[in-house]
Amino acid sequence: MGKRDDLIVQYADDLKNKCGMTPDMDLLRKVTIRCGPAIYNADASTVACSQNAELETVKNNFLIKKLGLADGPELMEAIAKVIEIYRKSERNKYRAVVYYMLTKHFGKEAVYS
């Protein structure tokens, strides 16, 4: 297995053990690939959930631009819900896992078809 495959296994483990979800491995792989080289950078591979600017970036660059959602308060509410599920005390919240959960939350799996 390559490094990306190792990361996908780690993300699947987080979804299963920290978020209580059974991951759709095909979708998780596609979300991870679309994250690009950020998954290999220690800082960029995680979401700094305590920083409002980072949450705005997730909203604008992922939810609005990639998933095509209209801006509104429900976007930040969804981000907060995902972070709560991923456990606020968890130090590393992987970007691919957060994006996967947001994709599932909004039912936008077709974006990755």
22-62 pLDDT, tens digit each = 999 999 999 999 999 999 998 999 999 889 999 999 999 99
Percent of the chain with pLDDT over 70: 98
From residue 104, give the alpha-carbon distance in Å to each of 9, 43, 50, 64.
18, 24, 23, 15
Q: Residues 46, 105, 95, CA angle at the centre, nearest 5°?
A: 10
- Provide the residue ranges of all domains of the chain, joining segments of one domain with +: 3-112
pTM: 0.95
Q: Which CATH superfamily is domain 3-112 in?
A: Jann4075-like (1.10.238.120)
From residue 72, give the alpha-carbon distance in Å to each of 44, 54, 64, 89.
25, 17, 10, 27
Mention every residue, 6+ apart, whose C-beta is less than 8 A from residue 107: none
